[in-house]
Amino acid sequence: MKKLKHVLSANDHLVTGRKFDILKNSETAILETHPRPTKEQLQTYYDSENYTSHNDKSAGIVSFCYRIIKSISTSRKIRIGQKSLSKKTPQNKPRLLDVGCGTGHFLYSCLKKGWQINGVENNINAKNNSRTEVSPFIFDDFEFLKSQPERFDIITMWHSLEHIIDLNQTILDMKKLLTKKGVIVVACPNHKSFDARFYKESWAAYDLPRHLWHFNKDSISMLFLEENMRLTKTYPMYWDSFYISILSEKIISKKNKFLKGLFIGLLSNASALFSKEYSSLIYVFNKEN
């Protein structure tokens, strides 16, 4: 039986206001959200027009910042994806699967680059807000894709792994969908960052209970290693510290303390120059030989 140690308690600041606990699993070092909602219950915690990753039209300064950062980050994500691909992969038309693709913004950007795209998204609100160019390529789960002969050169999860109920099965499914030299690229918040330690239970990236799991570099590396996927490269997400800090300030004061959020975000990035513990990190995993 796994041993769980209480780390902190925090509220759902988006929908219900309900309090949840974050517990540390002593075996995996992963932080877990408790009580964990069922699959059916979990959907109700996304039912808010303020959940920006599922609604490209939400209003307000925070949503505006999110869209600006998303636009800037997408080009870098594509460059990181291209850099991570095997040299044997056709660089002009790699096969991409984006898991937890939301409204399909990243898919659309890759489609314009000539990539062959597919996505997985089970939230109906996100799918309803997806672009018409990519919606035919988005599926509810892996089942149809597993029945197809084609495999993917790159599978991405941009802030979606922390939302997945069954971590190990999902990683195993993704691994089976990879080509021999394929890579999995994952972005997650890092609870060891300066801004996480500064804001504590008000750190917006805990996002309870939508985030079921909370990772750092060591715990996510161990998780993928269980399925013989080795961490080969890590990249910082510089803009996340600013966005998350602005959101955290809003949680504390119910106001948009924009300048203070920017300042804490700047301190977090400055601290990470030495610790390497950025607010969010991008991880590249390869199959072990």
What tens digit of pLDDT does each residue of 235-266 get? 999 999 999 999 999 899 866 688 899 999 99
Single out the residue of 275, 172, 265, 171 nearest to residue 217, CA to CA: 275
Calculate the dihedral angle through the C-alpha atoms of 219, 99, 189, 22, rounding to the nearest 10 degrees.
-70
Domain that holds residue 63: 4-287
pLDDT at 54: 44
Looking at the 3D structure of the chain, how many domains does it have? 1
The span from the CA of 126 to the CA of 54, in Å, is 4
pTM of the shown model: 0.92
Instruction: Indicate whether 289 pLDDT > 90.
Output: no
pLDDT in tens, 18-47: 999 999 999 999 999 999 999 888 888 987
Between CA 268 and CA 246 the distance in angstroms is 12
CATH of the domain at 148: 3.40.50.150
HSE (side-chain half, CA atoms, 13 Å) at 195: 33
pLDDT in tens, 147-162: 999 999 999 999 999 9
Question: Scanning the structure block, which residue is given the tokens 């050169």?
Answer: 153
What mean pLDDT do residues 95-117 have?
A: 94
pLDDT tens by residue, 176-220: 999 999 999 999 999 999 999 999 999 999 999 999 999 999 999
